[in-house]
Amino acid sequence: MTTLPGTRRLLTTWALLMALTVLSMVSARLDADDWQALPLWSAGLVIAATGFKAQRLLMVYLNLRAATPAWKGAFVGLVLLTLTLIAGGYLAARLS
Amino acid sequence: MTSRDLPNPGWGPLSALPGNPLMWVLILSEMLVFSAFFALYAVERVASTALFDASQRELDPLMGGLNTLVLLTSGLCVALAVEAVSAERIRRARQWLGASMALGVLFGVIKGVEYAGKFEAGITPETNAFFGFYYGLTAFHFAHVLFGLALLALVTWRTSTENVETAAAFWHMVDLIWILLYPLLYLLR
């Protein structure tokens, strides 16, 4: 059994994940009356918040912080690769 | 970290991963599968930008956001169940598992309401490529939610540290995939 994150860390992470989700929703301008393409900075903020959420979920909820740096790097790298795909597809469509 | 300190000695390269090593193999493979779908989505989006933009307007990002908050809170409950069972507080662990499952069901209800609204408006997976992806990706994810709920129910019955830890890892993977799916389908426009 590895060292678990502990209740305090879990609650802090949960609060952070909730805040980042709300930040994503605000960045995506869900309050706007009419549908419009996001400014690039908003899209960047959405992607950055998503990446940070995924990293926190891996490290704390899934307790990957107890693994070796190589495994941490592999999983975070895969998340970054996925986000690059998402961001790349979005940008290519936006700029085409 | 010496080999004796590893969480799973005897598992070769997987020895250094916490929890059940096979669950990490599953998480890795699921992430790769979804990433492949995301890549396909990206290619299709570039090819049909106007169609994807118009179709994305039909989605309700607030419902998607609400579901994200629900699933993340469910993830917290299941993580707290792991903490409880490792402290041999079985009753408390079962309570957290119950809360987690209730939130998982709520996720399903919200998703069901969303699907029902789309079907009522005549929007089906065959409407266009965007909705093919929307239904395909969210239904595939929803199948994981259902399987995760069954796993959580099973470990609520057969409660042990190893069982709860393994089911929790699966449930967090369901969280992780949704975190990536939400901006892709609902937010990035």
Q: Tell if the CB–CB gap between B180 and A30 is shorter than 8 Å.
A: no
Q: What pLDDT is attached to residue B13?
A: 79
Count of C-beta atoms within a 10 Å radius of residue A16:
15
Domain of A60, in residue numbers:
7-95
Question: Which tens digit of pLDDT belongs to each residue from A29-48?
Answer: 776 667 788 899 999 999 99
Q: Predicted confidence band at A96 (pLDDT cuts at 50, 70, 90)?
A: confident
- Could you tell me which residue, A1 or B110, shows the higher pLDDT? B110
Give chain B positions within 8 Å (CB) of A75. 27-28
B186 contacts in A (CB within 8 Å)? 28
- How much is the CA Rg of chain A, to the nearest whole Å? 16
| Residue spans per domain, chain B | 20-187
Q: Are B156 and B108 in contact (CB under 8 A)?
A: no
CA distance B72 to B84: 18
Residues of A within 8 A of B41 (CB-CB) are 89
Q: Beta-carbon neighbour count of residue A35 at 10 Å?
A: 12
pLDDT at A74: 94
Radius of gyration of chain B (CA): 19
- pLDDT confidence of residue B15: 83
The four Cα atoms B94, B78, B113, B63 give a dihedral, to 10 degrees, of 150
Domain count, chain A: 1
pLDDT at A54 over 80: yes
Average pLDDT, stretch B40-62?
A: 93
By C-alpha distance, the chain B residue nearest A68 is B16
* For A23, nearest residue in chain B (alpha carbons): B65
Looking at the predicted structure, is the pLDDT value of residue B69 above 80?
A: yes
Per-residue pLDDT of B132-185, as tens digits, reads 999 999 999 999 999 999 999 999 999 999 999 999 999 999 999 999 999 999
Look at residue B3 in the predicted model and tell me its pLDDT.
60
Overall average pLDDT of the A53-67 stretch: 95
* B36 touches A: beta carbon within 8 Å: no
Q: Is residue A2 part of a domain?
A: no
Cβ-Cβ contacts under 8 Å for B143 (sequence gap 6 or more): none
Kindly state whether residue A33 falls inside one of the protein's structural domains: yes
**More confident of the two residues A31 and B63:** B63
Domain-embedded: residue A68: yes
pLDDT number for residue B85: 97
Residue A11 class from Cβ within 10 Å (0-12 exposed, 13-18 middle, 19+ buried)? middle
Model's pTM, two decimal places? 0.93
Token reading at B98: 């119950």
Give me the CATH topology for the region B20-187: Four Helix Bundle (Hemerythrin (Met), subunit A) (1.20.120)
Write the residue in A30, A35, A57 that is nearest to B176 by C-beta: A57
The answer as to whether A66 is a domain residue is yes
- Report the alpha-carbon distance of residue B74 to residue B175 in Å, rounded: 9
Lowest average pLDDT, out of B17-21, B30-34, B117-121, goes to B17-21
Instruction: Compute how many other C-beta atoms are within 10 angstroms of the C-beta atom of residue B147.
Output: 13
